Amino acid sequence: MIVNAQDLGLSPRLLPMSLAVEAGQVVHLIGPNGSGKSTLLQLLSGLETAETGYVSMNGQVIAGQTRHALAQIRGYLTQHQRPAFVMAVFEYLNLVLDSLQLPSGDCRDNTVTEVSARLAITDKLHRRIDSLSGGEWQRVRLAGALLHVSPWLNPNACLLLLDEPATGLDVAQQEIIYQEIRTMATEHGIAIIMANHDLNRTLAHADTVLLLKQGRLVATGRPSEVLTDQRLSDVFATPLEQVPTPNGPVIMRASSA
């Protein structure tokens, strides 16, 4: 088991809840704004301390571990973070790797090149980060998160935490990101826990869903089990329903008729 959280809570933002995540599993956290998704990610990252319960990674309780020790085993993409000083994109990506105390060399350079190409930011490597659009900066940050847990650069990494990773991305860019997440999980065994607002992406891409409301865990399980019409309508306070299509069910606002 990669992650084991028991009775984890931080009142009033998050009431005690438990979860277990296996290697290669993709877990989506969904719920309205203020439901506790970001708080749960912060507690799982070890950067914030819970009032109740504990988190262990690979059987080791994370409380008391240094930030450097935590960085060796997990990556964490927060929301809307920009460095306090200006640098080029390639400098930012190398700063991420320097924080892991990784040596420079062909393997590092080749991995940065490959990830940059997959996320379509190769042409932005020499641009200053303050010149990037919101979507471009988000892809750069995602590249940094993927490099952080790359098995070729950081073989000890086992977990990637993502807070709204598709924010600011267009449809094509979102598809690339969800494919990268699935590849990281399936091919490299990285456990993924991510906050998400797109219910249809969760329906299509998640292995397990945690549905939160006002800091409380409402339901957990497979997407088809959790994302029921009645439950979603109650949690989001708007009528929602799954509509069958040739490509599978789609969650939409329910018709008033």
The segment(s) of the chain belonging to CATH 3.40.50.300 are 3-226
For the sheet containing 74-77, what is the strand order? 74-77, 159-163, 191-195, 26-30, 208-213, 216-221
| Confidence (pLDDT) at 107 | 87
Helices and strands of the chain, counted as H and E runs? 9, 12
The dihedral over CA atoms of 198, 201, 207, 210, expressed in degrees to the nearest 10, equals 10
pLDDT digits (tens, 9 = 90+) for 151-201: 999 999 999 999 999 998 999 999 999 999 999 999 999 999 999 999 999
Quick one: pLDDT band at residue 84, thresholds 50, 70, 90?
confident
| DSSP-H helix ranges across the chain | 37-45, 67-71, 89-98, 106-118, 134-148, 171-188, 199-205, 223-226, 229-236
Kindly report the CATH number that applies to the domain delimited by 3-226. 3.40.50.300
Which letter does DSSP use for residue 85 in this model? Answer: S
Structural tokens at position 216: 């409380």
| Confidence (pLDDT) at 195 | 98
pLDDT digits (tens, 9 = 90+) for 188-246: 999 999 999 999 999 999 999 999 999 999 999 999 999 999 999 999 999 999 999 99
CA distance 129 to 91: 10
Residue 189: left (phi > 0), alpha (psi -120 to 50), or beta? left
| Confidence (pLDDT) at 11 | 93
For the whole prediction, is pTM greater than 0.75?
Answer: yes
For the sheet containing 52-57, what is the strand order? 14-21, 3-10, 52-57, 60-61
